[in-house]
Amino acid sequence: MDLMEISEKQTMSREEAAARLHTLADALAQHNDVEFERGGMRIKVHVPDQVHVKLEVEIEDDGNELEVELTW
């Protein structure tokens, strides 16, 4: 059972998505923690120096998907 899960889906421009990914990448590169704010709550997640990275691309007739997953 998940202790906590935060899920969010939004429609935005490709440039806005890139900016959000840049912000996350900068936080990962500079800090041991990543912060999220949702519904008035601020959530801090500790990220260790070593993580597992999974990159998945799905190409289908009805749409494509690019998924980046970090686990530790």
Which has the higher per-residue pLDDT, 62 or 3? 62
pLDDT for position 67: 95
Q: How far apart are CA 72 and CA 63, in angstroms?
A: 30
Q: How far apart are CA 25 and CA 9, in angstroms?
A: 19
Question: Does the pTM exceed 0.75?
Answer: yes
User: Would 8 be classed as within a structural domain?
Assistant: no
Query: Which tens digits make up the pLDDT trace of 3-56?
Result: 778 788 999 999 999 999 999 999 999 988 999 888 888 889 999 999 999 999
pLDDT band (50, 70, 90) for residue 2: low
User: Would 25 be classed as within a structural domain?
Assistant: yes
Sign of the torsion angle spanned by Cα atoms 3, 9, 70, 21:
negative
Number of domains comprising the chain: 1
* Structural domain containing residue 60: 14-71
pLDDT for position 57: 97
